Structure 1
């Protein structure tokens, strides 16, 4: 039986990001997935333009906005409708171009249309048993199939907070956002009744796509239990109706639901994860693509080095991989973000609006670094301390669990 160096589970953005880097390393690699890696990705992926620019990949943006704003007022008067201007470019990734770019770099990697049902460690190797009965042996298995992975072990946590969103790409009776504008967060609650204001807050994420087409999405930052798609859809239509806007044509509907506070996986296990399976979703923003692109090259290079040592078992290889993926620095940053998320989840919409209004008063480098998880640990601690010191009393009390 052929013994692979690496077998990758999955064929989405995480799997292809890592596979495209591993393909440069002269290794025997295959992938298995229930979906073809050529099957078009459905979800939209937004990103701060600088994250792609730093990697020389800004050509992958289908849209780019310099008019980026948020709304954190109550919307009850003119002052409540004053936008917070971010003065920082945001972009929408061209899914097809992104996928094709990664597939081109994955040249030489064969993907089998299979589903893994079990993985066993035998004689220092990993054996994957597929639904079809096929058995595949590899020195290392990397699960990049998403957060629902059955093979990556992590501490048990009962209350998993999830970010949920319902969105529409379409045409409307009047523009839901201004021309050439991108709205990161519109938290104005004036379309909600008092009962709805007391439930889990949600905000509008919206953009002008040109040609009188817009993308509008009602998003819940994170909540447990998660807001339902029906609830978010109802809120979105209610928000639009309060502005006298109706949906006239729908090109695409988007439903998102993913965990924000998954515990970090155990480092001593014989399967290595990447992407959602490895808890790489940013707990403060829900973003992951920038992190996938930044972290895949180093992991691929290190794994290639480790694989040159023939005596290393699957357990030893995976454990070394986990140390590269989650070193001390990134682990501590993750813990800080998790703490912040837990506190924000306890905030009502008024306190949340106050928090974000204050957050975007940080310097651009500070808030961008926070949202992209690129601040070194000491700087992150400084920024979070600065945020706390400059926060209104009601936010301070919420962060300290005193109110």
Structure 2
């Protein structure tokens, strides 16, 4: 039986697409190895990036003006929201879809026949057909790809009460020659804070065990007492490797910001358009993706000691330019202006390194290459 849409993968992107396609009356089949697996990761977003249909119950906490530290303190004039992962998953209802617990191993599309059926072969050997098949299976890990790594602890609010979007103050015990990391501290609702030592994109990735040591050192310096029974959050995923295309979505379709790791809000916001068959890859979006990829190369080329100064310059940008770079998926002018303004605000000695990396010239690193940008999942 041929259906309207097959969605391969039921993470946040795939589930959002299936949910919105059902809302628009499409017949949907969803394929995932473990479709009932509960989401335990922490997802967050800028509030103004979210579509209007998001259920209020899916939001666990809102930070009106998150704090960032480079070498000095900044207040970001942009509300930041943290999802209740289980509530978000439940709100993206796919009960009207045919859900198959299996792994998609091959997606086939007709060549030279517009409007022909597409198919998915499952690991069981079953073949499914549909008018459209969307790959939302994410991106596989590879040593060649930069990855986000983080180690976090969940603590009661009485032990921590200041939301920190990122904090570069040098009290985590990292040696000057090591790849850097920062503290990410956000409320999760229920009188709980997540305190997380984060390296958003490293090649090679900073190991979780090293991030754990840094987090414990940082918290000890700040007088935070731990019991040893705190819940732990581990984070590790690629921040590059997706390929733009009409039949890929979420991280697989390069909706993940290659220089920051943001993806959930972009996928939620784009789900309606893709469900109706609209293109998510206009020329403007492709140009922005190229600029952001160049930005990732620049960040990877930074000497670790220069990361706090880099973010002094970034958070010193006008809020509109910060938003253009972090969220303007089709805003070519805003993205280019943000990058140019940031470049001019940096110390002169950094500009040559970043300029060479932006255009793809080889870089010699004395330390592991590590991109360090505002956290998001």
State which structure, 1 or 2, has the greater radius of gyration over its C-alpha atoms: 1
Cα distance between partner residues in 1 of 2:345 and 2:81: 30
Taking a change above 3 Å as real, the CA distance of residues 121 and 101 of structure 1, as seen in their structure-2 partners, is same
Cα distance between partner residues in 2 of 1:210 and 1:102: 20
Equivalent of residue 100 in structure 2, options 112, 115, 121: 112
Q: 1:249 deviation in Å?
A: 5.0
Equivalent of residue 195 in structure 2, options 172, 196, 216: 216
Aligned to 2:239: 260
Q: 1:370 deviation in Å?
A: 1.8
Structure 2 runs not aligned, ≥5 long: 358-362, 364-377
User: Is structure 2 residue 31 aligned with structure 1 residue 52?
Assistant: no
Aligned to 1:132: 124
Aligned to 1:364: 319
| Alignment: residue pair count | 354
User: Is structure 2 residue 155 aligned with structure 1 residue 170?
Assistant: yes
Per the alignment, in what secondary structure is the counterpart of residue 287 of structure 2? helix
Per the alignment, in what secondary structure is the counterpart of residue 362 of structure 1? coil
The CA deviation string for residues 17-38 of structure 1, in whole angstroms up to 9 with x for no partner, is: 11112113333321111112x4
| Pairing of 1:306-325 with structure 2 (within 5 A) | 324-325=279-280
Determine if contact 1:171/1:247 at 8 Å carries over to the other structure: no
Aligned to 1:20: 19
Cα distance between partner residues in 2 of 1:60 and 1:212: 17
Taking a change above 3 Å as real, the CA distance of residues 121 and 302 of structure 1, as seen in their structure-2 partners, is closer
User: Is structure 2 residue 94 aligned with structure 1 residue 100?
Assistant: no
CA RMSD of aligned residues (A): 2.7
When normalised by structure 1's length, the TM-score is 0.80
Cα distance between partner residues in 2 of 1:117 and 1:348: 41
Aligned to 2:206: 227
When normalised by structure 2's length, the TM-score is 0.85
Determine if contact 2:47/2:80 at 8 Å carries over to the other structure: yes
Cα distance between partner residues in 1 of 2:280 and 2:269: 11
Per the alignment, in what secondary structure is the counterpart of residue 302 of structure 1? coil
Cα distance between partner residues in 2 of 1:352 and 1:359: 10
Aligned to 2:373: none
Determine if contact 1:171/1:248 at 8 Å carries over to the other structure: no
Aligned to 2:265: 290
Per the alignment, in what secondary structure is the counterpart of residue 78 of structure 2? coil
Determine if contact 1:260/1:286 at 8 Å carries over to the other structure: yes
Q: 1:52 deviation in Å?
A: 3.0
Q: 1:325 deviation in Å?
A: 2.1
Cα distance between partner residues in 1 of 2:89 and 2:189: 23
